[in-house]
Amino acid sequence: MSASAAGPPGVRIGDETVPWPTDDGPSGVVARADAAAGTGTAGPGTASPARLSLVQQVGRSFQGAYPDVRVLADHGRHLVVRTGELPPGVGEGEGLHWRVLPLEPGAVVVDRPAPQRRRWAPGAGELLDTLSEREYTDWLERLTAPHTRHSLRAGFTETAATAAAALAALGYDVAHEEITVGPVGRSENVVAHRHGSGPAPRRLVVLAAHLDAVNHADGPDGAAPGADDNASGAAGVLETGRVLAALDHHHDLRLILFGGEEQGLHGSRQHVAALAEPVRRRITAVVNLDMVARRNTAAPGVLIEGAPVSRALVDDLVAAAATWTDLTVSTSLNPFASDHVPFIDAGLPAVLTIEDNDRVNTDVHTAGDVLATLEPALALQILRMNLAVLAERLADPGAADRGAVRTEPSSR
């Protein structure tokens, strides 16, 4: 069959391929969607080209708001829908909770890269083995102890102080970076810095997670243990920071625990905006941990989300996962709604590492996001992947070059 006879290529999302539609449903529906978006002139009874759209959402926010929109492919954070079936006003929640983007035939929304192992610098495996599930779990328990870690409540401030003290005890230079949340709210980021041993100019590598939690149904004073979102990521920063504190690294390391993420990435946006240009130029990698301990798939999985500017960093993480973990890896170059986005918007190579396919995780932003729902062993796999790349980026250039030798595809 010829390509023209077969029609446009479909859209790929993970292991699924959604065929490109040959029509877009009732023309009146299409016209209303076009009119709402201000992108069409078609009226009732006028033909409209068939197309698909990508919906990116936090939790199940889009599906909760529009339960009648037919989903053609569901990868949790990413949905594929028919553009003509989107109702008027669909963009009203865009930005904080979801967004809708047009897709082109043949688009890859979520990729499944072939696992490709690499040879790493000597001692890499021993370093990864110093990650401790016991230490990580201890941090999970401490971070989820307050009634809520809402950015504007005392539980957040107390937890930030505890984390800052622990990082200072490890030898980091720690600062409390004041931020605004909304028109009058005040919160903070915890920023911990450790200078490398190499001569200037040194690169700067960043590991980050948001510390705050939220309960949408019950408000700022409702119970918000935020075990997966995002004690899991914050505990990952603290445990990885413990391991890296014992490493004599060549380049500079910065650990950040952001506030105000749940209200619109306030902590990360303000941190990036305040970066001096010489500091921005030194940043070569930003790894963001957000929701890394909820098992949503039969095999443990991770989604690595970046942008074209972070393609090399994504590839390094894919190789690290193949070499050092049993993770099934998905990748996406459509960044959305987490603290890697402000860095990417500034042209910096940043990625999000998040548990794969969170469609079954319905406890996000509720009182039900508790420790009992987590699988710390999954988080440790993701930490191993991240630590391998961070340690390589922090090493002197010669050591990094010697470690970056491709070998055979992994069978994992």
State the pLDDT at residue 6. Answer: 65
Which amino acid appears at position 267 of this protein? G
- 155 burial via Cβ count (<10 Å: 0-12, 13-18, 19+): buried
Distance of CA 33 to the CA centre of its chain: 30
State the pLDDT at residue 38. Answer: 38
State the pLDDT at residue 29. Answer: 37
pLDDT in tens, the chain (412 residues): 333 446 789 999 999 999 999 875 543 333 333 333 333 333 333 344 679 999 999 989 999 989 999 999 999 999 999 999 998 878 666 667 899 999 999 999 999 999 999 999 999 999 999 999 999 999 999 999 999 999 999 999 999 999 999 999 999 999 999 999 999 999 999 999 999 999 999 999 999 999 999 999 999 999 999 999 999 999 999 999 999 999 999 999 999 999 999 999 999 999 999 999 999 999 999 999 999 999 999 999 999 999 999 999 999 999 999 999 999 999 999 999 999 999 999 999 999 999 999 888 899 999 999 999 999 999 999 999 999 999 999 997 754 443 333 333 343 3
Task: Name residue 181's beta-bridge partners.
Answer: 185
pTM of the model: 0.91
Distance CA 373, CA 360 (A): 12
Spell out the SS3 assignment of 101-167: EECCCCCEEEECCCCEEEECCCCHHHHHCCCCHHHHHHHHHHHCCCCECCCCCHHHHHHHHHHHHHH
Q: Report which secondary-structure segment, H or E, holds 321.
A: helix 311-324
Q: Report which secondary-structure segment, H or E, holds 178.
A: strand 173-181
